[in-house]
Amino acid sequence: MAPGKRPNFLIVLADDLGFSDVGSFGGEINTPNVDKLSKNGIRFTDFHAAAACSPSRAMIMTGTDHHIAGLGNLVEWTNVSGQNDPNGTMSTAVQRGMPGYEGYLNERVAALPEVLRDAGYLTLMSGKWHLGLTPERSPRARGFERSFAHLPACSNHFGFEPQLEDADSIPEFMTMSFIALHSEDGEYVRKLPENWYSSNGYGDKMVSYLRDWKEGGDDRPFFGYLPFTAPHWPLQAPQEYIKKYRGVYDDGPDALRAKRLQRLKDLGMVAQDVEPHPVVAEETKQWNEMSAEERANSCRAMECFAGMVECIDANVGKVTDYLEEIGELDNTFICFLSDNGAEGAAYEAYPIVKSTVLQHLQKYYNNHIDNLGNGDSFIWYGPRWAQAATAPSRLYKAYTTEGGVRVPYVMKPPARFAGGFEAGGVTHQFATVMDLAPTILDMAGVAHPAPTYQGREVVPMRGKSMVPYLEKKAESIHDKDFINGWETCGRAACRKGDWKIVFIPKPKGPERWQLYNLARDPGEVHDLAEKEPERLAELVKLWDQYVLETGVVPLSPDLGKWMAAMEEQMPENAWIEYEYWKDGARDDPAKFTREIPRFQRQVKAI
C-alpha cells in the first residue's frame, strides 16, 4: 500500500438476517467468508438498525435518522394501512405526504456516495436500493457512478413471474413483492440475465465493476455497497445450498433457539445467566402441536433460509477473494450487517393475506415440499424460527424491541486503523447504522457538507465516527448516557445508556410504555415502569424530544402530539410514485409515474 493511499470501503448488507444466523455469531449455517471477516475484524453485540429495511438503508446512506431522510415508514406500509397493521386499528393515513415520509431519499440529506464521489471516490453499488423507484430517485441520481439496483422492497429471487389467466389479478399484498424491478446506471433493466438468482447476480456484478476499475487503470479509491435482497422472503435459493441442510432443523425452532443461545454464551457474546424473552407466537402452532407434514414443511422452509444465507456468504467470498487477488483487501474497510432483526411475521394469519393471497399461491405456485426453494415456490418461515435467531431478545423485525433492532455487525478496518483492537475480538459498545457514514468519511478524510449541498440546505449527521474508539483515543463510541430513539409503524422506543422504554401496540405488547434495564435484562423480560416511575417519565420526555428533532408522525396519541388525517390523505394505495406492477407499466414507465402530494405541518418546541 502506497504511503498516504486513501482506504477503500465496502458495506455488505443482508436483508432480514437474524442476530445469530452466521457462524461467528453462534449460527450453524456455513458462512466461512463472514467468519473470516470476523476473525480479522471485530464483532459488535450492541449494534442497532431501524426495525425495518428501507429506514435502515436510509440511515446507512446518510448518517442521520430515517424520519428526516424520507423513509419515516416503509412507503409500502404508509401506502396501505393493512400492511402496516394487519389488525386494522392503526391507520397510516396521517403520515402520507408528510415531510420525512416521501418514500425515497429526500432532498434534506446529502447521500454518502454523493459526498464520496465529490471527494474523488469511485462509487459502486450492486443490490437492493429500496430508496426510490424512479430514475430521479435512483442510485445514480444519489451519487453512485455504477449501479445495478433492485428498486422495490422484495421480489422473486429467480425473477419468476406467474402468467395469469385472463380474469385473474395479482393480490394487493403481492403487487410489490414478486417483480424483480432493477435499474442499471439509472436506466430500467428490461430483462435480467439468464439463470438469474439474486445473490449470485449481485456478487458477480460487484466483481465485474471492481474488475473494470482495476483493469481500466482507475487510480481512485472505491466505495462499494453490496446490499443483498436475501434472505428476505420468498425463501428461495439454488438447491445445492438448500440440500446441505437436510435434517439439520428436524428438532424444531425451540431446539435451535436453545443451541444458538448456548453458542452465543460460549462465544462470550451474551452473559452466561442471560434470561431470554419467551417466544411470542400465539398466532401459530407450537412444534408439538404440528402434524408430521406441517413439521416437515416448516423444517424445509428453514433449510431454504439457511441455503440463502450460505449463498450470500459465497458471494461475499467472491468479492473479498478478488480484492485479495489484486492486493486491495488490507486497505479496504469492510463491514457486514443486517438491516433489521429476523422476519417473524406469520403472514398466513393476516386478513389481507388470508382473503386472496393463499388462493393465488395455491393456483400459480408450487409449494409442494420437494419444490420449496425454487423460483415457482413462495414461502416464509414465521415467528418461531425468527425468534430462534433473535434470542435472547424480544420479538423480531418491525418491532422496536431488541429483537427487531439489534443486528449482527462485523467490521474489518483498513490496515492503518486496525492497530487499536484485537483481531477476532468482541465488543459490547453501543453503535448504530447512523455511525457508518461518519466513520467512513472520517477514515477517508472527507468533511460532511452540511449545512448546504449543491445549493440546498441539508441536515448534519446524527451518527458518530468510530475512528477515535478504534484508535484508542476514546473509551467509547457514544457517551455513556447516549440517547437514541426508534419508531417504525407505530412501535417505538427510546434509550438512554442502559435504560430503554418500549411502546408495542396490542396484541404483541400492552400498548403502553414499558421500561427495561438492558444491562441486567437484555431480553426485555422484566418491565420496571411501575417500580421506576421517575425514570420512565424522564425517558418519555426524551422520546418527546426525539419526535420533535426527527419529525416522527405518531400513529397513536400515546406517542406524542397526535394529528387526525386530512381528507387528502385518506385514499389508500395512492402514495407510490411508480406503479410498476400494473399491466403495461414496465413498457411505458412515464405513463404509470405520478407526482405524490406533499404536505406541511407545524410542530412547536416542547
Q: What residues are labeled active site?
A: 53, 130
Helices (H), ranges, 462-582 = 467-470, 533-550
Question: What is the spatial distance between Cα 247 and Cα 82, in angstroms, rounded to a whole number?
Answer: 37
Cell for 183? 435499474
CB atoms within 10 A of CB 572: 14
- Write b or e for each residue in 22-49: b if 16 or more Cβ atoms lie within 10 A of its Cβ, otherwise e: bbbbbbbbbbbbbbbbbebbbbbbbbbb
Number of C-alpha atoms within 13 angstroms, CB side, residue 100?
A: 24
Q: What is the DSSP letter of 6?
A: P
- Residue 76 φ then ψ, to 5°: -65, -30
User: Beta 409-412 vs 42-48: how paired, if at all?
Assistant: antiparallel
CB atoms within 10 A of CB 258: 14
In the block, residue with C-alpha cell 409515474 = 593
Question: What is the spatial distance between Cα 58 and Cα 48, in angstroms, rounded to a whole number?
Answer: 14
Comparing CA positions, the residue from 322, 501, 461, 398 lying closest to residue 153 is 398
Q: How many residues does the chain have?
A: 606
Question: What is the spatial distance between Cα 444 and Cα 460, in angstroms, rounded to a whole number?
Answer: 17
Cell for 472? 484508542
* Burial class, 450, CB count within 10 angstroms (exposed 0-12 / middle 13-18 / buried 19+): middle
Comparing CA positions, the residue from 140, 64, 59 lying closest to residue 451 is 64
Contact (Cβ atoms closer than 8 angstroms) between residue 145 and residue 139: no
Contact (Cβ atoms closer than 8 angstroms) between residue 168 and residue 357: no
| CB within 8 Å of 190: residues ≥ 6 apart | 586
CA angle at 466 for the pair 2 and 432, rounded to the nearest 5°: 130
Question: What is the spatial distance between Cα 176 and Cα 158, in angstroms, rounded to a whole number?
Answer: 15
Q: Which long-range contacts (CB under 8 A, 24 or more apart) does 516-524 make?
A: 518/402, 521/275, 522/270, 522/271, 522/274, 522/392, 522/393, 522/402, 523/274, 523/275, 523/276, 523/277, 523/392, 523/393, 523/394, 523/402, 524/277, 524/393, 524/394, 524/401, 524/402, 524/500
Question: What is the spatial distance between Cα 64 and Cα 56, in angstroms, rounded to a whole number?
Answer: 10
Question: Largest Cα–Cα distance of the chain, in whole Å?
Answer: 67
Q: Which amino acid is at 23?
A: G
